[in-house]
Structure 1
Amino acid sequence: MTMNKAILPAIISALLATSAQAATLYQVEDTTVNMSGEIDAYYKVFDSEGTSVDTTDENGIVSTWANVQLDLSTKITDSVTAIGSFEVEGDDGAAFTVDDAWVGVTGNFGTVKVGETGSSYALMEKTELSNELDEYDAIYTDSEGTGNAVRYQKALGPVDLSANYSFVDGNGNDDFSLSADYAVENFTIGAAYLNGDDTESMGVSASVVVDAFYAALTYTDNDDAAILNLTSEDFTTTALSASYAFAPATLYGSYQMVDIDNNDDINHWYAGVSRDVTANITAFVEYSDTDADDLAQASLLVAGIYYAF
């Protein structure tokens, strides 16, 4: 499963979630600080078998998560702006931590960020529509949350380019990734490549929007990558997702397959429905089922509320 699902296509965010406009906390000369945040509460019911599954059987638990995010910008020249961002977050009463912290500069030359910038390989996540469920469309170690990176992004007409070099904490493995995404009207198609000390991944991902209907397809090929409790596995992933927005709700779902060489395959699907109660409150219910033969068999039901500000 992916390590972090923070970077999603803009269309998915528009269909499945609401986010309040960031409020200006203060503005001094050429520096502006904006603040936003979110409070989440959800009820989860697990049913799992297999040593490789993170959770144990539960009759049901309530979890919470909250964050406050600050976004900074300072005008350096007429064409160059310094930017930065970080968030303070915590869940279930745990101590708050600083996460997703980075600084950078942006201008006609593009954008350069240093810190927890996220990976360019996250372009493969166009098929990720769930709020709280596992995803098996693009399996990789994201620099965001696990280490720091230097990342460059640049738009050249309809093509968005991204490249980053990540310094992954804890295992001594660094990696770099590249991606290019072409967008025209209601269609996008992109490719990404990731190379690390011990792994190599590549893939393509496409999406289309027709009125209130959204569909996406992702395919990846991975060498010596980690999945579940396995290590150094060669596998491919295929994911097909779709959503349909209508008054007053949005329906969405995904079917994802992982074909592991010389091991059990994974078949994973989920379906959900979300409703925007107000411009900044979203309620949702979603259910997933995962079948990995002898490795893991699990289902998960989640009902939750996101309250953004």
Structure 2
Amino acid sequence: MNYTIAPEFTPIIDAIEIHLIGKREPIALSLATFFAGGHLLLEDIPGVGKTTLAKHLSQVLGLDYGRIQFTSDMLPSDILGVNYYNQKEGSFIFKQGPIFTSFLLADEINRSMPKTQSALLQAMEEGVITIDATPYTLPKPFFVIGTQNPHEEVGTFPLPTSQLDRFMCSFGIGYPDRESEREILKGETGHSSIVSDTLITPQQIETYMKEATMVTISDTLLDFLQEIIAYTREGGVFEYGISTRGALALTAMTKSWAMLQGRTYATADDLQRVTPIVCAHRLRFNEGNTTAKRIHHEIFTHVRSDK
């Protein structure tokens, strides 16, 4: 499916592609997820560039970057923070956890127990955490990239459905193509330790996030979107359909992907491009493996639009 990135966003994608060669579309989709105000789940094997993507995306956006390496013995307080008693002052003081950052890489999130994974729920939904009945506001914007290893790996725990639904999009980076990998092997790509320049101001980020919400979706396209949602719920091929949160995520991501191409209106092509990555972690086939490609084929074989 063809697309053209608008000139104002091209330098951002170019700067990251130096370090993640041949992965222009995953970079663009990550950027669109950010501008849509969502969170991103990268599901792939270790060593294909998930951490590299997160690190350099945060750098070009100029956001404070934090990384949590999830492990099986990690506690929620290791993420959120903890109240401790200060004997000198005779009172409890809150020590912030690593979640207090604008750009959080939740690395190998499925290596921790579900109780620890769930520590992110309120933060990802509301931008707030609550410790001992006291709410604490997180920085804005607040963007989470979670990485997940295949479930077949030893020592992994499936993410709860409620946690999966907090991620707007999910996709894998995948292996590089032969030509790109040859350049990597020859050492002709940017080294991951190099810091990328900040290419966008906080004011521009705020403007683009607002513009993404203002992209027009016609009534006809909205009908198409609702037909997709209805099919996931009533088609009989999925265990359960897309939630209302998922439907809102699909709408927001369609708008953001259109904005990234320099348009103030969304098209059916935009919707079809983002549907698999919004739905891949929300849907499960009653029979057989669930993949984004299979979801795309299933939905758009039965729900069609020439709009």
* TM-score of Structure 1 vs Structure 2, range by shorter chain: under 0.3
Structure (1 or 2) with the greater strand fraction: 1
TM-score by length of 1: 0.25
Greater helix fraction, Structure 1 or Structure 2: 2
Question: Which protein, 1 or 2, shows the higher relative CO under an 8 Å CA cutoff with sep ≥ 6?
Answer: 2
